[in-house]
A and B are shown apart, each in its own frame.
Chain A
Amino acid sequence: MPERELTFAQAVREALAEEMRRDSHVCIFGEDVAEAGTPFKVLSGLVEEFGAGRVVDTPISEAGFTGVAVGAAMTGMRPVVDIMFGDFITLTMDQMVNQAAKVHYMSGGHWRVPMVMRTTLGATRRSAAQHSQSLHAWFSHVPGLKVVLPSTPYDAKGLLKTAIRDENPVVFFEDKMMYKLKGPVPEEDYTIPLGVADVKRAGDDITLVATSSMVQVALGAAILLEKEGISAEVVDPRTMWPLDEKTLIDSAKKTSRVIVLDEGYGRYGVTAELAAVIAEGAFYDLDSPVKRMGAMHVPIPFSPPLEDATVPTEQTVSEAARQLCNKT
């Protein structure tokens, strides 16, 4: 029997539905999450099954309902907050950074905040500068938060279920361009632990460490490189924190060349951190400096040819890999 396939959006919805059936304390807060099922239709059908008391439409008050979720999580609920576009996390910053992330520590371990924030990242949807950013580095910088970046429907379901069961605030970034991507997703209940990287493709000559949207780009680049006799390994950390340093370092030691790819801004971003982890852990096994590729340091432009230039592509990644392998 062929494996069942779901889209990324369906996998997210299935994870939520399963967890809401499993635990009556799981509830959803967000704008247009109920009847509308969000603008991306990721949540459609949930309010019909679980009711408006658990799939709760909120006013357009990101700080307000995120704060309410923090308090609800401290007092017995397990809220999943929906922030429509990742760009809007800026409005929730105090609630996430100064409240959710610190409550457990500041209270000496007395209070817990078991909540999830789901939001999006990713450009190339022609949505311009305020609806296209990938700001996951911001939350990855803050101790007390966990940050998850699934790159396949399979990972999305398994990681989201783990995130909902986690006792800490977890931020879950979904690539909005990936919602229609299809992939095998088992029907049964399975979870994927946070902090375990996944080797999406094995290879010997170069490691492409890629997150979220960049995993597909890296896999495409690997196919191009294969035709030229370069064998690329693609490693997906899957979670920014906790971070599976060992898998990244082991792969770097094996191939001796590394490119780190992430759709966040390149400067002071995720690529800098991952590259540093690899440089520190595998320095003596490397044959070239670790290369970083992220979004250009510009607001994401609207005009399609401009926008397309801001993010790494299969072509630019394979070109960079060729250079590192001295095969230009």
Chain B
Amino acid sequence: MTTAVSKPEIGRETVTDQEKWLRAHRQMVSIRLFEEQVNEVYTRALMPGLAHLYSGEEAVAVGICEALRVDDYITSTHRGHGHCLAKGASPDRMFAELLGKEAGYCRGKGGSMHIADPATGNLGANAIVGGSVGIATGAAFSAKALGTDRVAVCFFGEGALGQGSLYEVMNLAQLWKLPVIYVCENNQYNEYTHYAETTAGSILGRATAFGLEAASVDGQDVRAVNEIATRLVKRARAGAGPAFLQCDTYRYSGHHVGDINRDYYRSKQEEHLWKTDRDPIKVLSKWLLEQGYADTASLDQIHSGVRAIMESAVKFAIAAPYPSVDEVEKHVYA
């Protein structure tokens, strides 16, 4: 099995600044190139179902997950490939799942929108918008009740701000001082509608109303995301309670791979601006070069190394067998 990047062992997190940000860079490149392959595989009609690409939003998943331990929990969304990879999932088993193969994380029963992996604390991606807010909060309840000092991160798009259950669990989490961080990935669009048309009032005000620590950050700047995430995670781990982090970001592609004609809800010019001026990989690369942490050749090398991993992951998944049909009735009950 190929692993994109191995995470330092718990308690062995003394890495240099250079190592840390090269790792973050590599993680973001992994997500970008993973999604490139998804797009390719999907367009070749090899992937059943829907594919919601995370490209453009890499700094959020990576900035947050790099602040977490392997045994911390995350919940993810329909646009979840980035979260799963950033938390340590391996691309070959991810691709196998996307193609419905037995070698996939869920034996092919979950697919793109339901990757789950206990080994990396991934409680599961969720295809109900806002569907995992309770699960993440419950994992934080367990962490507190069992005294494990784990933290739970709940990723959701700004579309989930429309779901009442989010407000129910933020109230609970603050009452019970649970170690959970609600990460709102504001990529500006709920499907095909700008969030301003669906979201009244203030986003952060929703969290501060319950007394949560709340902040917003440029979601294209992985260092900024990581800095604030590190603070919120530390605080939650120390028992200071839940937090809410709004990350402003942008999805480069359509809502899903088939969403090609987007002119009716956003302009090509807007897309172009985000991709050129605010690309998270470009932003970090520029900084790495300035610091002398990397040169163009070494960054290119990372790129081609990751590309090779992704290509072989796709090959692995295509060649992998489907589950046998008698699998259909397995795992309905434990």
**Closest-CB distance, A127 to chain B (whole angstroms):** 25
CB distance B123 to A111 under 8 Å?
yes
Contacting residues, chain A, for B146 (C-beta < 8 A)? 76-77
CB atoms of B138 and A61 under 8 A apart? no
Q: Interface digits, B100-115 against A, CB 8 Å rule (1 contact, 0 not)?
A: 0000111111100010
Interchain CB contact under 8 A, A106 and B116: yes
User: Is there a chain B Cβ closer than 8 Å to A281's Cβ?
Assistant: no
Number of residues on chain A facing chain B (CB within 8 A): 42
Tell me if B109 and A59 are in contact (CB < 8 A).
no
- Interface size class of chain B, counting residues whose CB lies under 8 Å from the partner chain: 35 or more
The distance from the CB of B96 to the nearest CB of chain A, in whole angstroms, is: 11
Alpha-carbon separation in the docked complex, A53 to B147 (Å): 12
Q: Which parts of A105-134 form the interface with B (CB within 8 Å)?
A: 105-114
Query: A residues 31-59 with Cβ under 8 Å of B?
Result: 53, 58-59
Chain B residue, CB-CB nearest to A77: B142
**Interface contact A64-B172, CB-CB below 8 Å:** yes
Taking a contact as CB atoms closer than 8 A, the residue among A71, A105, A167 that contacts B138 in the complex is A71
Q: Which residues of A contact B139 (CB under 8 A)?
A: 71-72, 74-75
Is A256 an interface residue, CB under 8 A from the partner?
no
| A313 contacts chain B at the CB level, 8 A cutoff | no
B145 A107 Cβ-Cβ under 8 A: no
Known: A64-B172, A94-B128. A99 touches B332 (CB 8 A): no
- Chain A neighbourhood of B334, CB < 8 A: 104, 109, 112-114, 167-168
CA distance A146 to B333 in the complex (A): 9
Q: How far, in whole Å, are A94 and B160 apart by their CA atoms in the complex?
A: 14
With contacts defined as CB atoms under 8 Å apart, how many contacts are there between chain A and chain B in the complex? Answer: 148
Point out which of A27, A75, A95 has the most chain B C-beta atoms below 10 A from its C-beta. A75
Report whether A109 and B330 are in contact in the complex, using a CB–CB cutoff of 8 Å. yes
CB <8 Å contact, A61 and B123 = no
Q: Is the CB of B138 within 8 A of A75?
A: yes
Given A59-B172, A59-B175: A70 and B134 interface contact (C-beta under 8 Å): yes
Contact A108 B134, CB 8 Å, known A59-B175, A167-B334: no
Nearest CB of chain B from residue A33's CB, rounded to whole Å: 14
Contact sample, A vs B, 25 pairs, CB 8 Å cutoff: A53-B145, A59-B175, A63-B168, A64-B137, A64-B165, A64-B169, A67-B168, A69-B134, A70-B138, A71-B123, A71-B134, A71-B135, A74-B139, A75-B73, A77-B142, A77-B145, A94-B128, A94-B131, A104-B331, A106-B110, A108-B105, A108-B106, A109-B107, A111-B123, A143-B332
The 9 residue pairs across chains A and B that have the minimum distance between CB atoms: A67-B134, A71-B138, A64-B168, A108-B107, A108-B106, A71-B135, A61-B168, A167-B334, A107-B116
**Chain B contact residues, CB within 8 Å of chain A:** 73, 75, 104-110, 114, 116-118, 123-124, 126, 128, 131-143, 145-146, 152, 164-165, 168-169, 171-172, 175, 330-334
A binding-site residues for B, Cβ under 8 Å: 27, 53, 58-59, 61, 63-77, 79, 94-95, 98-99, 103-114, 143-144, 146, 167-168
